[in-house]
Structure 1
Amino acid sequence: MTANHKDQVLAALRACGVREEELGGDLTSRTPLTGDSLLSVPRASREDVAEAIEAADSAFKQWRDVPAPVRGNVVKRWGELLTEHKRDLAILVQAEAGKSMSEAEGEVQEMIDICDFAVGQSRMLYGKTMPSERPGHRLMETWHPIGVVGVISAFNFPVAVYSWNTAIALVCGNTVVWKPSEMCVLSALGAHSLLARAVSDCDAPADIHRLVLADRTAGEAIVDDPRVALVSATGSTRMGKEIAPRVAQRFGRYLLELGGNNAAIVTPSADLDLALRGIVFAAAGTAGQRCTTLRRLLVHNSIADSLVPRIADAYGTLTIGDPRDESVLVGPLVNETSFNAMQQALQDAEAQGGEILCGGKRVLADEFPNAFYVQPAIVKMPAQTEVVQAETFAPILYVMTYENFDEAIEMHNAVPQGLSSAIFTQDQSEAERFLASSGSDCGIANVNIGTSGAEIGGAFGGEKETGGGRESGSDAWKAYMRRATNTINYSGELPLAQGVKFL
C-alpha cells in the first residue's frame, strides 16, 4: 500500500464526514488491490450491537409517526450528498472491493438512483379500497412500519445493496441497524456519515440509522434480537440456512439474497456479436464476484464451435491488474480464500471430465505478492456435474452444449439456485417460452442481455436456494411494512358478514 493511496483513502473519508476519532481499533480494513492493510476501526461488541438496536427501536417510536413524504426528505438529502461525494465514496469502494473506478462509481450511482426511487415511493405507499358486502361499510387496507430493520451486507457490493434496503426502509417509517462486511468497513463509514449528515440536515431523530462495525458475532446478535423486526441479509446459501431458522424461531421476518448460479442460453438464431459482448461482461466483470455473474453457458451444438473460441479470444484481450489504472477491466479476487476456492473448483472440474479452454492462473504475483489477480477461466464440461451445481465466487464460466430448446430449459433449471438468467435469441417464440412459467425458474430472466446489471426499478431477488426475497424496486417496499385490513361502519346499524345473526 503506497502512502499516496492511504492518503487518498483518508481524504475520501474526511470528505464524506468521517471524523478522526472514528478510526483506530482492532478491526482492520485490507485492500485486495495490493493485499496490504488500509486503516483500522473500533470493533463493536455484542453489547454495542444491543445498544444500537435499543437506540433504533426507541427512535422508531417517533419516526413511524412522521408523515411518509417528510421521511422522504431525509432520503432525498442523502441522495444529494451521495451525488456531491460520488467520487469520494467510490474511492472507498474501489479500495475495499477491488473494483474498477467505473464499477465503483456505478455502485454509488445505484445508491443515488434508489434514493430517487424511494423519495417517489414515500408518496405512493398505497393501500386498496375494497367493496364491502355490508351496506354502510367501507373495507380498505393500510400499510404501517414494522420497526427496526437489520441489514447485513456482503463485500462484493459494499454499499449499493445496503442502500436498497435502507432507503426503502426509512421512507416506510422503519429504523435501520447496519452490519456491513468486515472487509468493507471504510466504505460503510463513508456511506453512514453521509446519511447521518442528511438526518441532521432534516432534523430527523439521530438514531434512525445505526452502524455497527464488527465480525460475524455482530450479525448473530442482530439475527437473534427480538427487537429486530426484519433481517435483510446478503451472502451465501450456507449463511441463509443459518439465519432463516433462527429468525423464524422468534417469529421475525427475513429477506434473504443468497447464492446465484446463473446461466445464459444461446440459440442458433442469436446475434452472436451481441451475445459475445453480453457474455464476456457478465462472466468476467468484477472478477466474477457478482451474485449475478454468468457461471454457466448453454450453447446450441450447431454454433458452439464458432461462438466459444470467440469468447476465449475476447478473454485474451481483457486487461487484468490494479483497477486504479483506468485501462484495467478485471481487478483482483477479494482474498486468498477466494483464490483457493477457484483453484479447487478448476481441479474438481477437470476431475469431473472438464477441459480448461483458457485462464484460471494467477498473474501479477511478483508485483503484488499479497494480492490475488487471476485470469478469468472458461471450462468446457460434458454435463452439469457436482462442481457446476455449486457456486464458486470467482470468474469461472462452464460451457455446455444442448440439442433442442426443451433440453436447454431443463439444463438451465437443474441447479439449486435461481437468481438471474438470460437467453440470446432472435426467435420470439424462444424468448417468450424462456419467460413463461415453464421457462426460466429464476427471479430475473433477461432476453438479449447478460445476467448482470440489474436496474433499481425492478424488484431484485431469486428463487430456490437464492432465498426468495425481493429488494429495490417494483413493490419490494411491502417487505418493510405490515398490512392491516380495516372495516369502517358508518351505517348506524351492525350487520354481520355472511348474513350471520347473533342478537
Structure 2
Amino acid sequence: MDLLRFGAARHLQLFTTTYRSMHLLKNKAFVDGKWQHAANNAVFPVTNPADDTVIGEVPDMSEKDAKFAIDVASKAFKSWRDSTARERANILRKWNNLCLENVDHLAEVLTAESGKPLAEAKGEVIYGTSFLEYFADTARHVTGEIIPSPWPNKQILVTRHPIGVISIITPWNFPFAMITRKVGALLAAGCTCVIKPSEDTPLTALAAVELAKQAGVPDGVVNVVTTSRNNAASVGKLLCEDPAVGCISFTGSTNVGRILYGMAAKGIKRVSLELGGNAPFIVFPSADLENALDQAMLAKFRNNGQACVGANRFLIHESVFDKFIEGFKGRIGKKCILGPGTKAGVTCGPLVNKMQVDKVSGLVDDAVSKGAKVVVGGKVAKELGDKFYQSTLLVDVKPSMEIYHEEVFGPVAVCYKFKDEAEALEVANSTRGGLASYVFTKDLGQVFRMSQKLEFGMVGINDGIVSVAEAPFGGIKESGIGREGSKHGVEEYTDIKYTLMSALDK
C-alpha cells in the first residue's frame, strides 16, 4: 500500500503501543497556532531507523501550504516586532523551562525517529535548551550605538531592527538543537519564522513547538511545515524565493546550501548557512594521548559520526601514530556499543536512512579496494539490521581514495601519519570545507600558530566538543556564511539602521 495516499484518519491505526504512549507525539503540522492538515490531506510515514516500524504519519504539505504559513508569519511579524525585549525574553525562558521539564518526553520522540541512543537524545535536549536560556538573556542586550558626529549640530544613531520572516530549514542529525539554536535567536531579535524540518525527523520539531505554544509564543510567530522528500525541493524553493521572506537559515550539506544560496540571491535575501565540514583532528607529539583519545571518541562517534563538526580526518604525528591507533582501537571496542537507541548500554544507534548507509559503505569499500587497511569494523552489522554500520578505524589511506577528500558523516575514523607541523597544516587545509578543527598539543606557541593558520571557523584546542550557546558557531570557505549562538547569532536576524539627527541647535 502507498502510505503517502492515506488520509490522516489512518494515523492512529499505525501506532504501536509504544509510540501511542508518547506524551509529545503530534501528527499534524503547526501553522497560525493550530494543528493543521495539508490542504489536500496528503500524509507521509515517519519510521524508526532501528527497525523500520512506522511511528506515525504527518502532513505532506505542498507549496500552497507553505505559502499560507509564510503569509501567517508575515502577518504575525507586524505585532511581534513591536513586543518588548523583556516580553520576548520571558517567553523564551518559559519555553526553556518547559523543555527541561519534558526532557524525557522530548528524548523518546527524538530517539524514535532519529535512532540515537536515549541518553544521547536527552543530552541533545539539554544542549538545545541552553540556547533558549541564553537567548532569553540576550534578547535584552541587542543594542545600538551613538557614533561621535563630525558636525556640532548633528547626532548619528545606529539601531538594530528585526529582519522579518525567517525560513528555517533543519537537518535530521540534531532535530531539536538545530531548531532551538535558530528559533531562539530569531525570536529574541523580534522575527517570526516558518520551519521546514527534515522529512526523516519532523516529529521532534512538532514536539518542540507544542511546548513553545504552551510557553506563550503568539499564534503565527512560529510555524512548522512538514513535507515528504517528494515535496521538499518545491517547498524549499518557495521558502527561499517568496518576497515576504527576509532571511533563509539552513543547516545541511554544502551541495544543498549552494542551491538555496542561489535561490535566495534572486531576491537579494540574507542567508545564514551552516554547511558541511571536513574536520581535521591533529595530534602532536607533546599531546596528552589519553586525553586526545578520550576526546577523539567524542569528536568522532557522537551521534554515530553524523555531525557536521565531527572529526573526519585524524592526522597523527608519526612518533605517536602506532600508540594512538592501538589506544583508539581499544576504546572503540569497549565504548562503541551498537544497537537500538532504546536498549540499555547502547552508545551507537543506526544511521538515519539507507542513503547514509550506502554512502558510508561506498566510501569504505572504495578505500579498502585501493589499499586502505581496516583496523576495526568496516561493514554493516546485518545481525542488527540494515542501517547499523560498525564503528570503523581505517589506516593507510591515500589521496587516490574518495574517503580522503569526502566528509564521511558516519562512524568511520580515517587516520594519517604526518612528519611535522607544516605537513599537518597543508593536509588539514587542503579542503574546501572550513567548519571545525581540533588540535592536541602542550606547546603553547604551537597552539597560537595552529589557531592562526588553520582555515576553519572553529578551532578546539585539546578538546573534541566546541559547540556551546555562548560561542559563535559557524564556518568559512564552503562551510557556510554567518554564525549561530552567542550575541552574533541574534544579530544575524537584525538589520542595522542609521538615523541622522540634524538641526539640533535650532
TM-score (norm 1): 0.91
* Equivalent residue in structure 1 for 2:213, among 186, 192, 196: 196
How high is the sequence identity, in percent, across the aligned residues? 30
CA-CA distance at 1:454 after TM superposition: 1.1
2:378 counterpart residue number: 360
Deviations 1:308-339 (CA, angstroms, capped at 9, x unpaired): 12101211112111121231111111111111
* Equivalent residue in structure 1 for 2:25, among 13, 23, 26: 13
Does residue 432 of the first structure (1) align with residue 441 of the second (2)? no
Contact preservation (8 Å) 1:15, 1:85:
no
Partner-residue secondary structure (3-state), 2:439: strand
2:328 counterpart residue number: 311
| 1:179-218 equivalences in 2 (<5 Å) | 179-199=196-216, 205-215=218-228, 216=232, 217-218=234-235
Does residue 130 of the first structure (1) align with residue 142 of the second (2)? no
Partner-residue secondary structure (3-state), 1:465: helix
Q: Kindly tell me: are residues 63 and 12 of structure 1, through their superposed partners in 2, closer, same or farther at Cα, counting changes over 3 Å?
A: closer
1:325 counterpart residue number: 343
What is the alpha-carbon distance in structure 1 between the residues aligned to residue 20 and residue 237 of structure 2? 34
Unaligned runs of 5+ in 1: 494-503
Q: What number of residue pairs does the alignment pair up? A: 482
Q: Kindly tell me: are residues 150 and 58 of structure 1, through their superposed partners in 2, closer, same or farther at Cα, counting changes over 3 Å?
A: same
* Equivalent residue in structure 2 for 1:462, among 475, 482, 485: 475
CA-CA distance at 1:281 after TM superposition: 2.0
Does residue 265 of the first structure (1) align with residue 279 of the second (2)? no
Q: Kindly tell me: are residues 108 and 7 of structure 1, through their superposed partners in 2, closer, same or farther at Cα, counting changes over 3 Å?
A: same
Deviations 1:354-388 (CA, angstroms, capped at 9, x unpaired): 2222212211x3453xx411111111134444432
1:441 counterpart residue number: 455
| 1:384-403 equivalences in 2 (<5 Å) | 384-385=399-400, 386-403=402-419
* Equivalent residue in structure 1 for 2:50, among 33, 49, 70: 33
Deviations 1:15-38 (CA, angstroms, capped at 9, x unpaired): 999999879952111111212211
CA-CA distance at 1:492 after TM superposition: 2.8
Contact preservation (8 Å) 2:26, 2:203:
no
Q: Kindly tell me: are residues 129 and 320 of structure 1, through their superposed partners in 2, closer, same or farther at Cα, counting changes over 3 Å?
A: same
What is the root-mean-square deviation in Å for CA atoms of aligned residues?
A: 2.2
Contact preservation (8 Å) 2:339, 2:384:
no
What is the alpha-carbon distance in structure 1 between the residues aligned to residue 339 and residue 367 of structure 2? 26
Partner-residue secondary structure (3-state), 1:484: strand
* Equivalent residue in structure 1 for 2:131, among 114, 131, 145: 114
Partner-residue secondary structure (3-state), 1:459: coil
What is the alpha-carbon distance in structure 2 between the residues aligned to residue 34 and residue 456 of structure 1? 34
Contact preservation (8 Å) 2:164, 2:192:
yes
Q: Kindly tell me: are residues 260 and 17 of structure 1, through their superposed partners in 2, closer, same or farther at Cα, counting changes over 3 Å?
A: closer
What is the alpha-carbon distance in structure 2 between the residues aligned to residue 244 and residue 21 of structure 1? 29
Contact preservation (8 Å) 1:97, 1:334:
yes
CA-CA distance at 1:300 after TM superposition: 0.5
What is the alpha-carbon distance in structure 2 between the residues aligned to residue 77 and residue 103 of structure 1? 24
Contact preservation (8 Å) 1:79, 1:111:
no
2:500 counterpart residue number: 487
Q: Kindly tell me: are residues 198 and 271 of structure 1, through their superposed partners in 2, closer, same or farther at Cα, counting changes over 3 Å?
A: same
CA-CA distance at 1:79 after TM superposition: 1.0
Contact preservation (8 Å) 1:117, 1:457:
yes
Does residue 292 of the first structure (1) align with residue 306 of the second (2)? no
Q: Residue type matched to 2:429 in 1? A: N
1:477 counterpart residue number: 490
Partner-residue secondary structure (3-state), 1:206: coil
What is the alpha-carbon distance in structure 2 between the residues aligned to residue 163 and residue 169 of structure 1? 10
Partner-residue secondary structure (3-state), 1:406: helix
Contact preservation (8 Å) 1:25, 1:40:
no
1:374 counterpart residue number: 389
Contact preservation (8 Å) 2:24, 2:106:
yes
Q: Residue type matched to 2:448 in 1? A: E
Deviations 1:218-267 (CA, angstroms, capped at 9, x unpaired): 22221121211000011111101111111011111111111111111100
1:500 counterpart residue number: none
Partner-residue secondary structure (3-state), 1:334: coil
Contact preservation (8 Å) 2:29, 2:35:
no
What is the alpha-carbon distance in structure 2 between the residues aligned to residue 440 and residue 152 of structure 1? 29
Partner-residue secondary structure (3-state), 1:229: strand
What is the alpha-carbon distance in structure 1 between the residues aligned to residue 175 and residue 164 of structure 2? 24
1:499 counterpart residue number: none
* Equivalent residue in structure 2 for 1:337, among 355, 377, 380: 355
Contact preservation (8 Å) 2:367, 2:397:
no
What is the alpha-carbon distance in structure 1 between the residues aligned to residue 397 and residue 408 of structure 2? 18
* Equivalent residue in structure 2 for 1:89, among 106, 109, 121: 106
Does residue 139 of the first structure (1) align with residue 166 of the second (2)? no
* Equivalent residue in structure 2 for 1:165, among 182, 190, 195: 182
What is the alpha-carbon distance in structure 2 between the residues aligned to residue 430 and residue 258 of structure 1? 28
| 1:243-258 equivalences in 2 (<5 Å) | 243-258=260-275
CA-CA distance at 1:45 after TM superposition: 1.6
CA-CA distance at 1:425 after TM superposition: 0.8
What is the alpha-carbon distance in structure 2 between the residues aligned to residue 121 and residue 95 of structure 1? 33
Q: Kindly tell me: are residues 28 and 138 of structure 1, through their superposed partners in 2, closer, same or farther at Cα, counting changes over 3 Å?
A: same
CA-CA distance at 1:301 after TM superposition: 0.5
1:501 counterpart residue number: none
What is the alpha-carbon distance in structure 1 between the residues aligned to residue 299 and residue 135 of structure 2? 28
CA-CA distance at 1:350 after TM superposition: 2.4
Partner-residue secondary structure (3-state), 1:397: strand
Contact preservation (8 Å) 2:28, 2:37:
no
| 1:33-52 equivalences in 2 (<5 Å) | 33-52=50-69
Q: Kindly tell me: are residues 17 and 102 of structure 1, through their superposed partners in 2, closer, same or farther at Cα, counting changes over 3 Å?
A: farther
CA-CA distance at 1:56 after TM superposition: 0.4
Q: Residue type matched to 1:454 in 2? A: S
* Equivalent residue in structure 2 for 1:348, among 354, 358, 366: 366
Q: Residue type matched to 1:430 in 2? A: Q
Does residue 62 of the first structure (1) align with residue 74 of the second (2)? no
What is the alpha-carbon distance in structure 1 between the residues aligned to residue 126 and residue 151 of structure 2? 50
CA-CA distance at 1:299 after TM superposition: 0.5
Contact preservation (8 Å) 1:360, 1:376:
yes
Does residue 411 of the first structure (1) align with residue 424 of the second (2)? no
Contact preservation (8 Å) 1:75, 1:198:
yes
Partner-residue secondary structure (3-state), 2:437: strand
What is the alpha-carbon distance in structure 1 between the residues aligned to residue 284 and residue 475 of structure 2? 24
Partner-residue secondary structure (3-state), 2:300: helix
